[in-house]
Every structure is written in C-alpha cells, then in structure tokens.
Amino acid sequence: MTDETTEKSRVVAEERPELLILAGVAGLLGQIAPIVAMVIAIWLTGHQLLAETISELGQGRLKTIMDTGFYMNAAGLLALSIGAAHAHLGRGGWTVGVFCLALLALIVTLVGIWDNLQADDANLGNMTVHTKLTFALFPLYIAGPLAMARGVNRVSRTYTVLFVISATMFAVFAIAFKLTPTDYDGVIEKIAIGATMIWTTALSILFLNRGLRARN
C-alpha cells in the first residue's frame, strides 16, 4: 500500500459518521422546510402562483411563515457546509463549494431579515437591500455545485450529473426570471429556486448515506 493510499484511508477513517448523518438530515430538512412554508403561506394568503414571487409571498402579516422557511433553509445550508468541510472530497474546487454553502446560509438568513421590497431611501432607487442580497445568490448557486462536481464524481457519476444540471437549470431560469413579464415571473423564479435544491438535496443524501455506511 502506497503512502498516498494510506493517507487517504486514514482521512476516511477519521470521518465521524454521526456528524455526516446529522449534516445530511439537517440538509434535507432545510430543503423541505421552505417548500412546506410556501405551501402553507399560499393556502392562507391566496398567493398568485404564476405572477407573484416568493419575496412577495413573504410580505404582510403572515411573513413569519416564509421567514421561518428561509431560516431553516439557511440552517440546512450551514449544516451541509460543515459536512462538506468534514468529508472533504476534493481539492481547491471542493473548498470553494464549502465556502459557497456557508455564504449562502448567511445570505438566505439576511434575505429573511431584510424582506422589504420597497426602498426606504430614495437614493437607492429600486435597489433595496433585499434585492441586492438576491443578486448575490446568483453566482453562489452556480459556482457551488460546479466547484463540487469533480469531487463527488469519486463517489458516483450520478452526483456529478445532478450538480451540473442544478447549476445549469438555475442559471437558465434565473436569467429568464429577469426577462419574463410580471404575469409569469413568479413561476419562473420558483423553478429556479427548485433547481438549486437538486444540488443541496443530492449533497444531503450523499452525506447521509456516507455516514450510515461508516457507522455500519
């Protein structure tokens, strides 16, 4: 056995299965929570699925529902970041993905806090803090899965395909969202957000399976 193989075996042996299982479960809950919150909020508010955005759904007296979904999603992203740092499957690209997940957790939290869609300062024009934060999501949801795609290939090529599909779909629909008339931009935005969950859900399952196999 070569020194390199011995080192790789040592690193894998030092992975804590309970940490990976927790990261996987938290990651999955972080993807389910905003969907459940959105369904409840739509049911209670009469939200227009095609025309209104998720940000608009998070306004008004019931905004706590969507805010809770945002915060739980952020917690799931942070858990995935911790899991990815612990089970480091790549080199520089994987590290980029770890930081993308951590930054996404921070930005999603801030999106929930700064949910005002109207600029309070006339000097800002139409660019509110909330809008600026949503723009910051764009590069991270593309760079994250693409940076990690090579690392997960050592586990299964299926993960690599899913990561690339996630980044590509998000890029296409996020751009389309900006170009689509307001009568239909709501559904385009929801598809774009759904595309990001292909990456994070697959990563959650990867950690969960890896932790369960190590425990057994």
Quick: pLDDT tens for 63-82: 888 889 999 999 999 999 99
Task: Work out the end-to-end distance of the chain between its first and last CA atoms, rounded to an integer number of angstroms.
Answer: 24
- Per the listing, tokens 């299965």 go with 17
pTM reported for the whole predicted model: 0.87
Quick: pLDDT tens for 22-45: 999 999 999 999 999 888 888 887
Amino acid 137: pLDDT: 94
Closest CA to 75 of 112, 21, 26: 26
Quick: pLDDT tens for 131-147: 888 899 999 999 999 99
| Confidence label for 122 from pLDDT (cuts 50, 70 and 90) | very low
Do the beta carbons of residue 80 and residue 40 sit within 8 Å?
no
Amino acid 53: pLDDT: 74
Amino acid 195: pLDDT: 97
**Residue 46 burial by Cβ neighbours in a 10 Å radius (0-12, 13-18, 19+):** exposed
